[in-house]
Amino acid sequence: MTVVAIGLITYFFAQSIETYDYIVETNAFFAPFEFYENRKIVGVDIEIINRVAEKLNAKVDVKNVEFDLIIDNVASGVIADAGAAGLTITPARAEKVDFTIPYYTSVQYVIFNRNDEPETRDGHIVWEALAGKNIGSQMGSTGYLFVADEIDGGALKDTGAVVKGFDSHQLAADAIGAHIIDCAVADELAAQFIVEKNPNLVALPLYYQGETVEEDYPVEESYAIAVNKQQTGLLNTFNEVLAEMLVPDEDGKSEIDKLILKYMGLTNG
């Protein structure tokens, strides 16, 4: 092979490799924040990422990975620059990465079979009602961590309750119908998205039990984007974009609110 031929092959090969300014990891099984539609990842978090890319005039590659790898990959600063996957701010995660301002507050929900409803209190379920049950959740998610904590030393300790991890909330919900688990714990919108497509399933909010029903309070979490601690400029741009998208309009709805409705299929936009 001639030197010219080798040079041409090298040139065209180099042209075929696309380079990016930033890599953002997600787990594309968490509608309405990120999910596959026509083999493309779409959702609320993707809209946020695209807005940041536009503001920075940068090329951003969104990679789908296992959920519980995202924080460590972002912390490395080599594999990923940021992570967007409905990530909850926790002290343990904040030691590894920087978080943007919160852009959504979610309540944990319990998904169960319509014919096997746990005991409820004024329209919600408390941890104690899950005693002795086989509970599923997405591995590495906040729901999974909440359940594990309650089994280790909370309301479910020594009750016989067990937690089983799945690759996604949808797979956990599927396991209810297959009688592998009794119920699943998932973020509010993910739970609502799942039960809307399955008439045999129901979802109700999960609460901590107070002295009275009125003193019960929800298991809440706040979502933010995770950014590598060395990427201060990227963090600041994410915060600027989120601040803009969180401004409410005359009807009290922010752009984030409207995107959630859009990707939940509740609007035509």
pLDDT in tens, 123-153: 999 999 999 999 999 998 989 999 999 999 9
pLDDT (0 to 100) of residue 98: 98
pLDDT (0 to 100) of residue 242: 98
pLDDT (0 to 100) of residue 266: 60
pLDDT in tens, 42-91: 999 999 999 999 999 999 999 999 999 999 999 999 999 999 999 999 99
* C-alpha distances out from residue 182 to 162, 174, 208, Å: 10, 11, 20
pLDDT in tens, 185-240: 999 999 999 999 999 999 999 999 999 999 999 999 899 999 999 999 999 999 99
pLDDT (0 to 100) of residue 265: 81
Pairing of strands 104-113, 201-208: antiparallel
pLDDT (0 to 100) of residue 2: 54
pLDDT (0 to 100) of residue 264: 86
Instruction: Look up the pTM and report it.
Output: 0.77
Q: In which band, very low, low, confident or very high, does the pLDDT at 19 lie, cut at 50, 70 and 90?
A: confident
